[in-house]
């Protein structure tokens, strides 16, 4: 295990969400690597401080207020009402256009066989 892999596991290790094998590998790495051990100790100290802070609940109208402010500052681009044409995914539109082009090609081939040449 290297430094990057170890640091990516710090959060899961702190929350006790790692499997037995990953926990064993990380603990072995922490015992042998001074740099990662110090980083994990700093990580643990930071999260320990956050857990000790009192929890505050957001006011009841908080979410609605955020949505209104975002809608106002973005001029309706986010959380705004969208027309049906804006809701069609580009992938679906692309497939539909390809199907239309194929249909046109087939119709032209059937009406004028041998006249239509593609590059």
Q: Residue 7: CB partners within 8 Å, gap ≥ 6? A: 36, 39
Write down the pLDDT at residue 119: 57
Q: Which of 22, 45, 26 is nearest to 36 (CA)?
A: 26
Q: CA distances (Å), 58 to each of 54, 72, 77, in order? A: 13, 21, 25
Asked whether residue 56 carries a pLDDT value surpassing 60, the answer given is yes
Tokens 């857990």 correspond to what residue?
51
- Interval 103-113: pLDDT, tens: 998 888 888 77
Whole-structure pTM value: 0.44
Residue 100 φ/ψ, nearest 5 degrees: -65, -45
Confidence of residue 77 (pLDDT cuts 50, 70, 90): low
CB atoms within 10 A of CB 108: 12
Q: CA distances (Å), 62 to each of 72, 76, 85, in order? A: 15, 19, 31
Asked whether residue 43 carries a pLDDT value surpassing 80, the answer given is yes
Residue 94 φ/ψ, nearest 5 degrees: -65, -45
Structural domain boundaries of the chain?
Answer: 3-52, 88-119
């Amino acid at each position: 295990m290297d430094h990057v892999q170890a640091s990516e596991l710090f959060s899961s290790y702190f929350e006790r969400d790692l499997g037995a094998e990953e926990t064993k590998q990380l603990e072995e790495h922490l015992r042998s690597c001074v740099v990662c051990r110090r980083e994990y100790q700093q990580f643990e100290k930071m999260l320990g401080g956050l857990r000790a802070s009192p929890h505050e609940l957001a006011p009841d109208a908080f979410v609605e207020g955020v949505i209104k402010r975002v809608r106002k500052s973005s001029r309706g681009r986010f959380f705004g009402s969208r027309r049906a044409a804006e809701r069609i995914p580009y992938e679906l539109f692309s497939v539909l256009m390809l199907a239309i082009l194929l249909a046109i090609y087939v119709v032209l081939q059937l009406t004028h066989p041998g006249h239509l040449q593609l590059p």
